[in-house]
Amino acid sequence: MNLTAFERNLSNFSAGYETYTKLMSDIKRLDNLIQANEKQLNDSLIKIPFTHLHFVDGLGIFKHQTPTLLKQNRQLIFKYNHQLIKVSNSLHERLAVQFK
């Protein structure tokens, strides 16, 4: 392998690595947001003693932030899954290039 080909491969690797680290940091950030959101959701529900079950308050009314938290959770999970697909596609592309 000559120097030009080595430099090209090294450049491709570093660009791929930067993309991978950015995607992984986005995934970690989204994971932290999802966990915080789910903690707020769990705190807004009433726990049934001696079980792992939760329910809304005695009148069947959600606390005021619960619908908003559910909507945010749905959006965050959609973004999280989209980032996972990007990472998967990036890894598949890298592997395809490596084994050609």
The partner residues of 46 in beta bridges, in order of sequence, read: 55
Q: What is the pLDDT of residue 21?
A: 85
Q: pLDDT of the chain along its 100 residues, tens only?
A: 687 877 777 777 777 778 888 888 988 999 999 999 888 877 776 666 666 655 555 555 556 677 788 888 899 999 999 988 988 888 777 767 666 6
pLDDT of residue 32: 93
Q: ∠66-29-68 over CA atoms, to 5°? A: 15
d(CA 63, CA 78): 24
pLDDT value at residue 75: 92
* 0.85 surpassed by pTM: no
